Amino acid sequence: MKGPVITRDQVVPLLETPFLKVVDLQYAEGRHYYNATRREPDQLPAVKSDEAFREMLPDAATCVVVVRTPDCAPRLLLIREYRYPAGRILLSPPAGLLDPEDRESGHPALSAALREIREETGIAAEPARLELLSPLLFSSPGMTDESNALVLAVFDLPDLKGLSQGGASGSECFDGFRLLTREEAREMLRRGTDDDGIFFSIFTWAALSFFAASGL
């Protein structure tokens, strides 16, 4: 089944801010579908051709960060970050938007991932392994077209003394780290909440799931 074709002329702006827009996708006479987006109207996935859709870049990169130190088995590094819509601290992977320079780098998602890891964890070492796990995952195509690439970054570190959240900027508000062994990640997946009984995002679930199932 092929759905309705939406053209640029059917995209009606409703709200425009520096960080987020809301548009009305008027896909038929008298029919409306509202979309929250970071994109300009001509860059919306809804108006792209199939070819352009398959080649588009994500809005952001989410990072599965695995840390290996001599004194411990590999651990998944998650951050505790205040998330305004949820109104509380949530356990999350490091993540951030693609910047213009990332888009010109040749490896946009990997470039963004390394920058965000440096800013949100203080890790500046070269990764022992850096790869794209998924080029683009929609957060919730029922209400927004926002998307994230999923990037794996593995670091061999002498110790954890360099971990820092001093690179926080703007509205970012961090509250430390959580380093999980594979069994702790599996237990968190079984429980469906963090250690404080707080729910987490689908991207945290993805990071936990990958690490729990991996041979890292």
How far apart, in Å, are the Cα atoms of 36 and each of 96, 99, 146, 207, 212?
18, 19, 8, 25, 33
122-177 per-position pLDDT tens digit: 999 999 999 999 999 999 989 999 999 999 999 999 999 999 998 777 788 999 99
Q: What is the pTM for the complete model shown?
A: 0.94
What does the chain come to in residues?
216
C-alpha 216/C-alpha 212 separation (Å) is 9
Residue 171 confidence (pLDDT): 80
Residue 216 confidence (pLDDT): 87
Identity of residue 22: V
Give the residues of the chain that fall short of pLDDT 50: none
Identity of residue 128: A
- Residue 73 CA to its chain's centroid (Å): 25
